[in-house]
């Protein structure tokens, strides 16, 4: 049953011209609207019906870190919407040689209709958005990965038929971009969330406080623990992410030891609900944060999740630009 959320229940929110930096900037109704739009766009694409809502529009995509899914899904998404995307590696543009973010923002705003950036510091994205006169989309920072989590919510909705009241458990690095965006996204749509991570790797305190405040309004609950078994009890959705994120490669050996008992494996998943689904934003390290048995097993929906990046991002682009 996929009709738990109907667009007709909401007034169409005004998102034109806004930035998409983190999910906490958006109202629950706006997130539900984007999910509904994503499902409509997915339907059109599957039926082979053209949907050139962004004819003639151009997206500039700045990448300071590697990417497979984000780059390809944004590029294909713009093409399917009738527009065009330009890949701008920081190795090749002047930003990588020290040109300022503000000058880059002002110049690119004269050419493109929207910018997407994947970078290290969240402050860089905020600075780009501050100086740009076109919408800026966060394609991942050290702090947040909001476009991924919109795709995750779409995947959960498709597989579970609803979002509100479900329990999502994240086991792993609680202080990374995925954990933070999952906390914001889950709580916005009324899901319960538990995060299990080793001591010293709990989520950012300011985000935790903010999310706990939001949870009071949406009827969600937030559990932050160091105990994976406590966190995963009766979970509908189990999520993990790499133990070493991009930019942390120097800490790989230390992290392998610290996170050893935070692996998502068959023994741990025995405590989740029988019909749980498993999500991972990918790329994954089989044998580290998750066993092959789980990520390639019957509960895993990771490739639906990867596909949904395309549909969720088309909904974002359409809302900000059309």
Interface with ligand CP (CB under 6 A): 67-70, 140, 148, 281-282
Tell the smallest beta-carbon distance from residue 291 to ligand NVA (Å): 19
Tell the smallest beta-carbon distance from residue 72 to ligand CP (Å): 8
Is residue 281 flagged as an active site residue? yes
Residue 61: C-alpha distances to residues 231, 240, 309 (Å): 37, 27, 15
Residue bearing tokens 């110049």: 107
Asked whether 53 and 322 are in contact (CB, 8 A), the reply is yes
**β-strands 136-138, 192-196: how paired?**
unpaired
- Which residue lies nearer to ligand NVA by CB, 155 or 245? 245
Binding partner at 241 among ligand NVA, ligand CP, none, C-beta below 5 to 8 Å by kind: ligand NVA
Q: Which of 22, 24, 175, 176 lies at the binding interface for ligand NVA (CB under 6 A)?
A: 176
Half-sphere exposure of 244 (CA within 13 A, CB side): 15
C-alpha 220/C-alpha 181 separation (Å) is 15
Tell the smallest beta-carbon distance from residue 109 to ligand NVA (Å): 27
C-alpha 226/C-alpha 215 separation (Å) is 21
- Which residue lies nearer to ligand NVA by CB, 37 or 241? 241
Residue 72 touching ligand NVA (CB under 6 A): no
Is residue 19 flagged as an active site residue? no
- What the block records as the tokens of 285 is 């390290």
Q: Per CB under 6 A, which of residues 213..252 are in contact with ligand NVA?
A: 241-242, 245-246
Asked whether 174 and 243 are in contact (CB, 8 A), the reply is no
Residues in contact with ligand NVA by the rule CB under 6 A: 140, 176-178, 241-242, 245-246, 281
Catalytic residue positions? Answer: 118, 145, 148, 241, 281, 309
């Amino acid at each position: 049953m996929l009709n738990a959320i109907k667009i007709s229940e909401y007034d169409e929110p005004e998102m034109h011209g806004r930035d998409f930096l983190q999910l906490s900037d958006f109202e629950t109704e706006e997130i539900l609207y984007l999910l509904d739009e994503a499902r409509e766009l997915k339907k059109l694409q599957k039926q082979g019906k053209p949907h050139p809502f962004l004819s003639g529009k151009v997206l500039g995509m700045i990448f300071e870190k590697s990417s497979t899914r984000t780059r390809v899904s944004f590029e294909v998404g713009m093409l399917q919407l009738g527009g065009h995307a330009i890949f701008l590696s920081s190795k090749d543009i002047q930003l990588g040689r020290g040109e300022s973010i503000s000058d880059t923002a002002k110049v690119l705003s004269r050419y493109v209709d929207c910018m997407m950036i994947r970078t290290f510091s969240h402050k860089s994205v905020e600075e780009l958005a501050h100086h740009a006169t076109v919408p800026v989309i966060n394609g991942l920072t050290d702090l947040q990965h909001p476009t991924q989590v919109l795709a995750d919510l779409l995947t959960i909705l498709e597989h579970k038929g609803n979002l509100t009241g479900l329990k999502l458990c994240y086991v792993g690095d609680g202080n990374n971009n995925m954990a933070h965006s999952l906390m914001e996204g889950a709580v916005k749509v009324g899901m319960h969330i538990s995060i299990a991570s080793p001591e010293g790797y709990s989520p950012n305190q300011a985000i935790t406080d903010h999310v706990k405040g939001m949870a009071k309004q949406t009827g969600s609950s937030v559990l932050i623990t160091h105990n994976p078994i406590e966190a995963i009890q009766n979970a509908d959705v189990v999520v993990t992410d790499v133990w070493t994120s991009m930019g942390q490669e120097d800490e790989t050996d230390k992290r392998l030891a610290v996170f050893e008992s935070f692996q998502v494996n068959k023994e741990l998943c025995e405590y989740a609900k029988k019909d749980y689904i498993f999500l991972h934003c990918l790329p994954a390290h089989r044998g580290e944060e998750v066993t092959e048995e789980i990520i390639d097993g019957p509960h895993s929906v990771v490739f639906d999740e990867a596909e949904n990046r395309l549909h969720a991002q088309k909904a974002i682009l359409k809302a900000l630009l059309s």
